[in-house]
Copies of this chain bind each other. A is one copy, B any other.
Amino acid sequence: MSDSRIAVDAMGGDYAPKEIVAGTVEAARALKGVARLFLVGDEAVIRRELSGLGKIPGLIEIRHASEVVAMNESPAAAIRRKKDSSISRAVELVKGGEADAVFSAGSTGAAVAASQLKLRTLEGVDRSAIACVMPTPVKPFVLLDAGATTDCTPKILAQFAVMGSVYSREIVGRNDPSVGLLSVGTEDSKGNETTKETFKLLEKSELHFVGNVEGHDLFEGKVDVVVCDGFVGNVVLKTSESVAHAIGRWLKEEFTRNPIRMFGAMFLKSAMNSIKKKSDPSMYGGAPLLGVNGICVIGHGVSNAKAVFNGIRVASESVAHRLNHLIVEQIKKLGNCS
């Protein structure tokens, strides 16, 4: 059956293990189509967390791992050195065939390094990419790569377009997702050397390629998938968060500047909460690392139980939709076109 088995890195994330364990138990109780959930990490610690959560569903299983990769460690080195880290062991469950997917809210770099090293890439895929679902006032879009592969050739970027398109259709639910290439102007002559070559590859592909998109277009909800290299994508992701944070700070400063404004702001608390909710990436359940031979979903460091639940849901749906099988098929078609 397509019932999924998911390995959860119980020790990764700012609120680990508490929120991770809570979210996993919630997923075990509420999610359909999940056959097994592994909690990977310090067994004693995990047992303690579980003990406060009532009757634990039988599909939860603990797998002991004695080490943790910290957020400030160099990811690749830590993965090599800490053989018994929770993220390494979780990924190895996928590699060994005991699990179909891994979820971690720990160090993104460590999850990427472990997956790239242990799972390797899918057939025909050269490099992996982190796909982030970004909220906009119109509709969310998939941004990839958000940081897995900083130096990309046109061929690699074209593969990202294929993977993002499959993800948008299968998991975000877009029919015939439109794909844009992030550049500095909409004409095909605009961009750097790499994007200009990528433009030609995408034009020839079977994707619903709409051409270049600019930074201006991103949050207008114009396209379903935005393709760029991992350097640019990471900068876009973090710059967006930085701008939102700066505006939040400005709003707070100004709204509390005098009693009249504070009075007015009282009536807008629900409005502010509503915006916070709509622009909250945690509802999309983390970002998958696409292109590796196994499903890997990476949660935000600040993931709470709800975010963990959604991350497990996305991992489970990716398994059910046979995401990697579809990616391999579509990548083959791309190869035929170029």
Contacts and interface: CB of A to CB of B under 8 A. Distances in A.
A289 to B, nearest CB: 15
> Binding site of A, secondary structure by majority: helix, strand, loop or mixed?
helix
A124 interface: no
A215 B238 contact: yes
Nearest to A217: B242
A181 to B, nearest CB: 12
A44 interface: no
Contacts of A187: 74
A275 B256 CA distance: 13
Interface in A210-228: 214-220, 228
Nearest to A190: B150
- A74, A271, A279 — which one has the most chain B CB atoms within 10 A of its CB? A271
Contacts of A267: 260-261, 263-265
A338 interface: no
A238 to B, nearest CB: 3
A278 B250 contact: yes
Nearest to A231: B192
Indicate the member of A74, A137, A230 with the most B CB atoms within 10 Å: A137
Task: Sort chain A's interface into a size bin.
Answer: 35 or more
B242 A239 contact: no
A261 B271 contact: yes
Contacts of A241: 215-216
A216 B238 contact: yes
A337 interface: no
A75 B165 CA distance: 33
Given A184-B147, A267-B261, A215 B236 contact: yes
Contact of A265 (B137, B228, B232, B268): B268
A216 B245 CA distance: 9
A242 B136 CA distance: 10
A240 to B, nearest CB: 5
B254 A264 contact: no
B239 A184 contact: no
A219 B246 contact: yes
A189 B192 CA distance: 24
A66 interface: no
Contact of A184 (B235, B244, B247): B235
Interface string A133-154: 0001100000000010011000
A234 interface: yes
B234 A219 contact: no
A300 to B, nearest CB: 13
Contacts of A257: 271
Nearest to A251: B275
A147 B215 CA distance: 12
